[in-house]
Structure 1
Amino acid sequence: MKKVSAIMALLLCSGLAQARTYDEIINSGFLKVGVPADYAPLAFYNTQEKLVGFDIDMAKDLAKQLNVTPVFYITSWPTLSQDLTDDNYDIAMGGVTYTKSRAEKFLLSDEIVPNGKVALAACHVASSLSSLDKIDKPNVKVVVNPGGTNESFVNDNIHTAQVIRVENNFDNIQALRDKTADLMVTDLIEGQYYQYKEPNVLCLATDTPFKGTESYKAYMVQSGNQKLLDAINSWLPNSNKQQLAIKWGVKTQLN
């Protein structure tokens, strides 16, 4: 089902090799939205294999504001930036963290929701992994998938613990459920969601972001698409963000 969705999006968007301007997007009648689709509660597949989440609803709200139809393209964290550069979609959503390196290459929107890096662990070991010093031990197994800011944090900060590298973010979660790994580094948004959805299975080992990792989620467009970014930033204060945040259990302020 996931592959079918991606193929349909590709077919709809084929033949557009150059970056589309804001006016071309409006005139086309559709907005191409890229999402990795493995980041609950922002963009993910539910048990019915339906693409859902806070950012999926936000994309629909943005498209309604622009009077166009959203078309979702399934990307991945390792290919997110290149897919945007290749004009496979107009806007990247679904868990994009504002970083300096991304800001140097692309345009990023105003803050969507605040965030930061935390440790999500299998509940039976969570209490023993409450700091980075306790995590970075030879007997601790840290699971991570490639291509995103979680991997960057692990590469920069985990030197002694065992690092298990898996294909995607869903494999991280499953490793914790299966107890083949002790812990994953993730965003506060995602950690809070899984702790709420799977009590006594998945627990936050650290419930506030690691120092220096405080950040926020944003939407990302190509560097030459200032008019589209302006439209996004104008829409945000008038969007359904607060209602959708309540619907999906997303906190709009760090405690």
Structure 2
Amino acid sequence: MNKKRLNSLAIGAITLAAACTGTAAFGQGADTAPAASPHSRLDTVLARGTLQVCTTGDYKPYSFRKPDGAFEGIDIDMAESLAKSLGVKVEYVKTTWANLMSDFLAKCDIAVGGVSTSLERQKHVFFTQPYMIDGKTPIARCADVDKYQTLAQIDTPATRVIVNPGGTNERFAKQYFTHAKVTVYPDNVTIFKQILDGKADVMVTDASETLLQQKLNPGLCSVHPDKPFQYGEKAYMLPQGDVTFQQYVDQWLHLARATGEFQSISDKWLK
């Protein structure tokens, strides 16, 4: 076979291979539609026209339910801001700390109200970027501040620790106070009055809450809120696996902080 004939056969083989490849690629494109993007909660919220927000309503300054049923606080104003950015209305779902996770998974698009991040919660939900750094610190009658500076000072049989149920405060108390008398008190709104009235000695909660409660309850003092017992963060809970919705909420939160909107809302409730 001469050289000219070999070149001709080679060119033909290449042309045929290219044609087959093109046909296969075309056939694949025709027979198989591009993979659809997973449906996001973002689409659901926009179609529904409402943002369903779980919140306890018992945690000033983040979320508090007034006697008339309306909610107010830092995270309530922030939820309204998020809904406005989406062009929808807010629908609040009242929950408790003990039922926060189950209510969120069943009923809500986002959970707000001073929610602390934790690895246990992270097993079931996504969190936004943190919007506040916080940590557990004591609050006690001002005359007793020197008595409750350390965990060891608190964790004695003579100390009456009071704690609200179902959240990170209760878990902290159960972990660190094995000798003190720990009472689980059901109402996080009136729990601080129990200390003022001498029915309890100390509560360990988030430093930001102790700073507000000492203003609302003269006679109570936050104990070293600038040096809490442990590091903590506050963030918003979102559906696990929904990266699209998480990225939208994260970007909204980033802009709210960068433009000063979050600081303005925070100052409104803390000052």
Q: Which residue of 1 aligns with 2:251?
A: 234
> TM-score, length-normalised on structure 2?
0.80
Q: Which residue of 1 aligns with 2:241?
A: 224
Q: In 2 relative to 1, CA 101–163 (structure 1 residues): closer, same or farther, beyond 3 Å?
A: same
> RMSD of the TM alignment (CA)?
1.8
Pick which of 139-148 and 19-28 moved more.
19-28
Tell me, what secondary structure is at the counterpart of 1:163?
A: strand
Q: Is 1:195 the equivalent of 2:208?
A: no
Higher relative contact order (CA 8 A, sep 6+): 1
Bigger fraction of residues in helix: 2
For 1:218 and 1:142, the matched residues in 2 are separated by: 27
Q: Which residue of 2 aligns with 1:244?
A: 265
Deviation at 1:249, TM superposition (A): 1.5
Q: In 2 relative to 1, CA 194–48 (structure 1 residues): closer, same or farther, beyond 3 Å?
A: farther
Which of 10, 14, 21 is matched with 2:41 structurally?
21
Q: Which residue of 2 aligns with 1:253?
A: none
For 1:203 and 1:49, the matched residues in 2 are separated by: 29
For 2:183 and 2:155, the matched residues in 1 are separated by: 13
- Gapped regions of structure 2 (runs ≥ 5): 1-38
For 1:24 and 1:48, the matched residues in 2 are separated by: 30
Which of 87, 92, 117 is matched with 1:72 structurally?
92
> TM-score, length-normalised on structure 1?
0.84
Q: What percent identity do the matched residue pairs reach?
A: 32
Deviation at 1:125, TM superposition (A): 1.8
- Gapped regions of structure 1 (runs ≥ 5): 1-18, 251-255
Q: Which residue of 1 aligns with 2:129?
A: 110
Write the letter of the residue equivalent to 1:125: D
Which of 160, 164, 178 is matched with 1:141 structurally?
160
For 2:150 and 2:67, the matched residues in 1 are separated by: 33
After TM superposition, the runs of 4+ consecutive aligned structure 1 residues lying more than 3 A away are 46-50, 208-211
Aligned residues: 229
Would the aligned equivalents of 2:40 and 2:245 in 1 still touch at CA under 8 Å? no
1:36-55 pair list within 5 angstroms: 36-46=56-66, 50-55=70-75
Q: Is 1:33 the equivalent of 2:50?
A: no
Q: Deviations over 1:206-243 (max 9, x none)?
A: 323444x2111000011132222111101012222111
Would the aligned equivalents of 1:131 and 1:206 in 2 still touch at CA under 8 Å? no
